[in-house]
Amino acid sequence: MLVLARKVDESLMIGDDVEVKILSIDGDTVRIGVQAPRSVVILRGELYAQVAEENRSATGAASDDVDRLSSML
Amino acid sequence: MLVRNTRFGDLDVSEEQIITFPKGMIGFERVERYVLVNPTDKISWLQAVDDASLAFPLVQAPLVYPGYSLYVENELLEPLGEVDEAMMGIYLVLVVPGDPRNATVNLKAPVVISLKSRRGMQLLIDRPEYSVRHRIMPAEKGA
């Protein structure tokens, strides 16, 4: 992993069209601005893990329970 | 071809019925080929072609969340190939526990399927009003 030290108002480039800028630092919270083309998805890293976990839970469904739910909709 | 699975009995499907997820489902990136079981029912199943026990129950988004919107740029739907909105299904992944009244859907990660290109993908939409565990039935009072 590449590690860089940056100060407030400094930025870094990822490729030639994604700019990540440090806006402010307050205790352990860093505000970051990202400028990127509209086709680039920007998400909090923990969202992937959360969704993968929900997907895993979804695959555990029993067809009987799903049939019962279907009849309630 | 025969799709073996642990829930519905062997399914005899034609190649044209297979839906390809080029990026897989989140957390299941290597599983790319699926079939949609019971596509016209309120709840359908996204059954993996190559993994008998892997299936995701899906519900059509408008059925459980009227006005549900994807809020995505068209560029993000490129993996679907040619997109015809009339032939695009928007589904939500259901988590169904032993008591189905407690079922939830994940509003942050809809599954979009283009019936025209037979391709699908799971999107990530990080909006504060979209819960990953949205109850589809109100909690019972006093229960």
Residue A51 tokens, joined: 């969704």
Q: Given the structure tokens 């025969």, which residue do they identify?
A: B2
In sequence order, what are the beta bridge partners of B46? B36, B56
Residue B65 resides in a domain: yes
Residue A21 resides in a domain: yes
> Are B82 and A44 in contact, with CB atoms under 8 Å apart?
no
How far apart CA A70 and CA A68 sit, in angstroms, is 5
- Tell me which residue of A71, A73, A65, A61 sits closest to B55, measured CA to CA: A61
A43 lies within 8 A of chain B by CB: yes
Residue A43 has pLDDT above 90, yes or no: no
Residue A44 has pLDDT above 90, yes or no: no
Residue B140 resides in a domain: no
Closest-CA residue of chain B to A61? B96
- Calculate the average pLDDT of chain B: 91
Residue B59 resides in a domain: yes
Residue A3 resides in a domain: no
- Domain extent at residue A28: 11-61
ipTM entry: 0.91
Using CB atoms and an 8 Å cut-off, which of residues 12-41 of chain A contact chain B?
A: 37-39, 41
What pLDDT does B141 receive?
A: 61
DSSP B139: P
Residue B143 resides in a domain: no
Residue A67 resides in a domain: no
Q: Which chain A residues contact residue B125 at CB under 8 A?
A: none
Closest-CA residue of chain A to B122? A51
How far apart CA B109 and CA B128 sit, in angstroms, is 13
- Domain extent at residue B45: 2-135
How far apart CA B66 and CA B69 sit, in angstroms, is 9
Residue B141 resides in a domain: no
Residue A71 resides in a domain: no
What pLDDT does A31 receive?
A: 95
Residue A72 resides in a domain: no
What total of structural domains would you count in chain B?
A: 1
Question: Looking at CA atoms only, how far is residue A33 from chain B in angstroms?
Answer: 16
CATH number at residue B39: 2.30.290.10
Residue A5 resides in a domain: no
Partner residue facing A47 (CB), from B42, B73, B126: B126
A68 lies within 8 A of chain B by CB: yes
Instruction: Answer yes or no: do A69 and B56 touch at CB < 8 A.
Output: no
Residue A5 has pLDDT above 70, yes or no: yes
Q: Which chain A residues contact residue B106 at CB under 8 A?
A: 51, 54-55, 58
Residue B66 has pLDDT above 60, yes or no: yes
Instruction: Answer yes or no: do B56 and A43 touch at CB < 8 A.
Output: no
Residue B82 has pLDDT above 90, yes or no: no
Partner residue facing B94 (CB), from A44, A58, A68: A58
- Tell me which residue of B35, B43, B7 sits closest to A62, measured CA to CA: B7
What total of structural domains would you count in chain A?
A: 1
pLDDT-wise least confident of A50-64, B60-74, B94-108: B60-74
